[in-house]
Structure formats: structure tokens, C-alpha cells
Structure 1
Amino acid sequence: MKASSSTPDLQELTPVFFGLHLVGGQIGLPIVVCIFLLSKDVRRHTTIINFCITWIIYSVAYCLSIYGKFNAPAMPVVAGLAVVFQVWCTFREPWMPSRFDIAPQVIWNIAMIAPPYLVFLAFSLAATYMAIEYPNSISMENGLYCDLDGTMMYNSVPIFCTVVMIFILGFEVAILVTYCRSRLLIKKVCPLAETKMPSLIPWMRVTIFLLYSCFAFGACASKFTNDLSSFPYMIQATLPFGVLLVFGTHKDVVLAWRFWDRKQSGYFDTSTAISSRNTSIERRPSAFSIGASLPGSMVSDGTTVPRGEMESRV
């Protein structure tokens, strides 16, 4: 095996590395996905379910220690881009029809779900080819998973993930700007609207997601600095757990775990419902459940607009 002086030996952190993957990506997220698919009271958009599934595969691939680095990271990153794109579409004038609605639903379903798996397959085949052609490049010097030193694959995945992360961060900034502008526009057009302060919990979820996006970006960028610290590796391990915190701690999901008490509570949280059970890509509430649906005179940020004023001004 080929040694690399820029690779730290993290064998002593193996229990922590795999423990984080186990809790977040192989126990927590599979349970959450099963709730999304099987529960009648918990509904999520197809892109959210697909996003969680890609992180499960990501976690399993790393724990197999078989070229996990060269196929796993790119897949959830692409799925994350689909999620923020869907949220961005939701926030762009949610009361207006989407420009993308002209395409058949099945086309948009495939376009939003298939890319992560195509990227996963492409990098897997490329890594397999490189391993066969250059067997001496295979290294497990970091003590956690296999690497391919001295090949074009060594930097290809970090470069790809960094580029996609830039797009994700750009969409996240655009979502926040669009949301703030929408609130200001509603107050300007409908001055009699009853404005409610948004709930802090959804914004905490958004903050966690943004922070993890920044940490993931930093982990990708650190690849090019020959960083010998354990930071990028531990960030990789905690990402599935971060996804679990963001999407698996909604009130309706927690209540679904308490199946013995569900009939007594009679609770259904419409503010966290991303979509109905059909798999169509439609304009629905945000993936972070910042707002509810738009029933007539209700605006997704919690602002109630008198119907007469809405009809006369908008």
C-alpha cells in the first residue's frame, strides 16, 4: 500500500467514527424513513425521503471500508442540492403556479430523485477501475476506510462535492433572501395583515442545516490544504446524525414513535407536512416546515391577510 504523509492516522478514533455512523445513518435515519413511508400521519416530500435514504447508503458505504470515500459523499450532496432546489421553488411566489409545472410529473420525479444514484454509480465504477488498474495506490493509512492515493480519483470527489456545496449554499442564501422579501412585500401590499412571529423551532432546524452545510463545505475544502487533523473525518461521521436532528425530530415524527398513545392524542401537525403521499413534485410547504399550506387567505410565513384586501390589492 502506498503511504501518504498528508494522511493522519485515526485508527484510535475508529469506535467514535463508526459509532456516529451507526447512531445517525444506520439506526436513526432508517427508522425515520420507515415512519415517512408507513405512517398515515407523517407525510414528507419525495425529495426529503430520497435525501434521507442517500445518507443511509452514505453511512453504510463508509462502514464497509471499501472505497467508501469515492462513491458515498457525492450522492447525498447531490440529493441535498435537490432538496434546497425544491425549497427554493416553494418560496418563489408560492401563490403562483410554478414554471416547472409544464413538464410531466414523472419527468420531474426522475429529475429530482435519479441524479444522486447516477453520481454514486459513476464514482463507484471509476473507483473500481482505478483500483484494478493501480492496485498499489490502495491505502488505508487513515485507519478508517480505503483510499486511492496518487490517482485522479484522489481529488475528484472533494472537487465535485465542493462545487455542489457552493450551489447548495447559494440556494440557501437565495431562500432566506426570498423569504424576507416576501414578508416585506406582504406588509407593503397588505398593511392590515395580521403578522405573526415565525416559530423559532423551524428556524433552529434551518440553522442546523446551514451550519452542517458550512461544516461539510469546510471538510471538502480542507482536502486541498493537506490538513492532518481529524476535523474532516469527524464531520463526515456526524453528517448523518445532523440530518437525523433536522428531519427526524419534528413533533409528528416523535408522536409516530409513540404509536400506543397516538389515538389518545389525535394530533396531526400540518405545518410539517411536506407533501401528500403521491410522488409528484409540486409546490408545497418548505422542507423545513417554516410555513403551512396556503388555504385561501393564509400566507406561508404565518401572516393572515384579510380576503377582501388580498383580492383588491394582489
Structure 2
Amino acid sequence: MAGPEMPMNIVHGTHAELILFLVLNMWPSHFGLPILLAIVLFSKHVQRYPTFVNLLVVFMVVGFSSSLLVYAGKASGPEPSRALCLTQASLLYGMPGMASVAVLTLVYQMLITIRAAVHKHTYRENEHAVRLWMMIIAPYAVWILFIIATVLVGIEDPANVSRDRRFFYCSVKSNPLTDTLTMFAAVVLFATFVLEVWTIVLFCKRGNSGMFTTLELDLPLRILAFGIYILVAFSLSLLSMKAPESPIPDLIIASAATVVILIFGTQRDILRAICFWRQSQHWNESSS
């Protein structure tokens, strides 16, 4: 017995917007983020939280998943096969939960590090190995959980699996599933907001004491800025799952990886690692 007829073209996008969506997903995940990740991993002069490395990997996974139809030559034209479409839908439906948890863990690790500094304690990651590994694994555990849920829903009624419905990528029509995704991501985003406010309060209380130098504040402030962007972008993305008519929310969330590169890839130590042929004297003169 055939399933219910799918509403077609709920998201009203143009071919130019489709190209923009794919570019925003592909250039960071296939080029920009791998370079930034390599610098963080292999440069002796660049140190970052493990959860920051995790964030880069997460957004690379998101970009690869969003590009799946391009690899198969099915980004436009006739509908992809049900199997291919369900594969992409499953990967992407796990994305809001995975990415939001990755941001939450990064903000949390920043907070506990700053809090330790405020209370004049030395924070050593090797003393909290279990907690660190839980923070690293958590985004992928959430991702896999929602992948399984989406696959089960899609297999139950394959007629509800379609690319045309969301225009940019494949989706599964299921109100209970999207409600669960929305609620989970909303709770995580709220928790992230609370941690960011907590961090800002610490800055306000201690910022005038001279405890933190401008250089030491650079990364935390960038993380806070990115966290605020993610709160706005993911809120739009979650709203688009409930009322998916405009292509703008999907394009905004697709720009997240580019924002990661612009915010974190322009720090002085990163730029110094990229421009390795420059003499350190030039950097010292330019910063004086």
C-alpha cells in the first residue's frame, strides 16, 4: 500500500541558491577546515582545546554529508534513489544534535578553564581524562542515535523520503521525528547560552583586575562570538524544520563552517603558521 503523497518543493529555492548552498558546504569541508585542522594538529606553536579540534571535525562531517548528492550526481534533476536519499537524510538529521553538542562541549571546556584561572587553580586536562573523552565522544553518540532513528522512520514509510521537499537535500517527513530533533537541539542551545552568560559574568567580574591579557582573551572571545552566531543560526535552522518555506535558514546554517574559518582561522598564531616563510621579526614589528 502506497504511503501518503509527499508535499513537493516546500522550500522554494533557485538554482543559484542551490549552487551557493553546495559551495558553502563544500569549500570549508574539503579545503578550509582540513587546512585549519592540520595547522592545529601539527604546528608546535598552535595550541587549542581538544573540543575545538572536535568542532572542526564535526563541521567537516556536516559538509561531507551535505555534499553526498553531489558525489552521486543527484543534486538536481530526477529524484535520487530512496536508499541514497534516506542515507543523506539520516546523516543530516543527526547534524543539529551533533553540532550543537560539539559547540556546547567547546564552550564548557572554555568555561572550566577560565573558572580555574579565576580561582587561581591550574587546570590539567590529563587529570580529567574521563570527562574529556565524554565531551569528545558525545557529539558522535548523539549523531548516531538520530541517524538510527531517522533510518527506522524512513524505512517504515519510504514514500516520505524525498529531496524535493527540502530542495537542497533529502529529508524525511515525520512530525514526531522533527519535533524530537528540534526539542533536543533547543535544550542544548539553551544550555550553551547559559554557559556563555556564565563565562561573560566571569569576565565582567575579573576583567578589570588585569588577570587576563589581551592575547589570553582572544580565543575565549572568539569562541563566545561563534557561540552567539551558532545560537542564532541553529535557531533559524530549527524554525525552518517546522516551517520550511524560505531557503534563507538553510543557507545561513550552511555558512557556519565558513564562519568557523573566519573567526578561528584569523588568529595571530594561525596566520603565523600559514605564512611560515615570514620572519618572526616582521610579526613582532607589526604587533608593536
Name the TM-score, length of structure 1 as normaliser. 0.72
SS at match of 2:39: helix
Verify: 1:165 aligned to 2:169, yes or no: no
2:270 maps to 1:253: yes
Tell me what 2:243 maps to: 226
Q: 1:176 to 1:195 in 2, by over 3 A?
A: closer
1:152 to 156, 169, 176: 176
Residue 47 of structure 1 is matched in structure 2 by: 51
User: What SS is found at the alignment partner of 1:260?
Assistant: coil
| 2:260 is equivalent to residue 240 of structure 1 | no
The question of whether the paired residues in 2 share the 8 Å contact of 1:2 and 1:139 is answered with no
Contact kept? 1:137, 1:151, Cα under 8 Å: no
Alignment of 1:19-58 (within 5 A): 19-58=23-62
> How far apart are residue 23 of structure 1 and its match?
2.3
In structure 1, stretches of 5+ residues that fail to align are 187-193, 270-314
Q: 1:203 to 1:77 in 2, by over 3 A?
A: closer
CA RMSD of aligned residues (A): 3.0
Shift of 1:9: 2.9
Contact 2:6–2:159 (Cα < 8 Å) also in 1: no
1: distance between equivalents of 2:178 and 2:253? Answer: 16
Contact 1:36 1:44 in 2 (8 A): yes
Following superposition of structure 1 onto structure 2, how do residues 1-314 of structure 1 map, counting pairs within 5 Å? 2-4=5-7, 7-12=10-15, 13-65=17-69, 66-67=88-89, 68-94=91-117, 95-97=119-121, 104-141=127-164, 142-183=166-207, 186=209, 198=214, 205=222, 208-223=225-240, 226-261=243-278, 264-265=279-280
Distance 1:164 1:260, change over 3 A: same
Secondary structure in 1 matching 2:199: helix
Q: Is the alpha carbon distance of 1:133 and 1:224 closer, same or farther for their aligned partners in structure 2, counting shifts above 3 Å?
A: closer
Letter in 2 for 1:110: W
Deviation at 1:207, TM superposition (A): 6.2
Distance in structure 1 (CA, Å) of the matches to 2:211 and 2:120 = 21
Distance 2:64 2:261 in 1: 15
Q: Which has the higher mean CA deviation after the structures are superposed, 200-209 or 76-85?
A: 200-209
**Given the superposition, is the C-alpha separation of residues 31 and 125 from structure 1 closer, same or farther in structure 2, using an over 3 Å criterion?**
same
Aligned counterparts of 1:53 and 1:143: Cα–Cα separation in 2? 26
Gaps of 5+ in 2: 70-87
Residues paired across the two proteins, number: 258
Q: Which has the higher helix share?
A: 2
Shift of 1:204: 6.8
State the SS of the aligned residue for 2:120.
Answer: coil
CA, structure 1 residues 195+61, in 2 after alignment: closer, same or farther (shift >3 Å)?
Answer: closer
Deviations 1:15-46 (A, max 9, x none): 00010112223211111001111111212111
Q: Deviations over 1:260-296 (max 9, x none)?
A: 33xx326999xxxxxxxxxxxxxxxxxxxxxxxxxxx
| % identity of equivalent residues | 25
Partners of 1:204 and 1:163 lie apart in 2 by 23
* 1:72 positional shift: 2.0
CA distance in 2, matches of 1:5, 1:176: 45
Q: Distance in 1 between matches of 2:242 and 2:94?
A: 21
Q: What is the deviation of 1:140?
A: 1.2
CA distance in 2, matches of 1:238, 1:245: 11
TM-score, length basis structure 2? 0.78
Preserved contact between residue 97 and residue 185 of structure 2 (Cα < 8 Å): yes
Contact 2:94 2:146 in 1 (8 A): yes
- Per-residue Cα deviation, 1:189-235 (whole angstroms, up to 9, x for no partner): xxxxx799847966873564144123224314423652521221111
Do the aligned partners of 2:101 and 2:139 also contact (CA within 8 Å) in 1?
Answer: yes
CA–CA distance in structure 1, aligned partners of residues 182 and 29 of structure 2: 21
SS of residue paired to 2:168 = coil
Q: Are 1:137 and 1:148, in contact at CA under 8 Å, matched by a contact in 2?
A: yes
SS in 1 for 2:246: coil
Residues 202 and 109 (structure 1), Cα distance of their counterparts in 2 relative to 1, 3 Å cut: closer
Q: Which has the larger radius of gyration?
A: 1
Tell me: CA distance 1:2–1:154, structure 2 relative to 1, closer, same or farther (3 Å).
farther
| 1:204/1:228 CA distance change after superposition, 3 Å | same
Aligned pair in 2 of structure 1 residues 31, 2: CA closer, same or farther (>3 Å)? farther
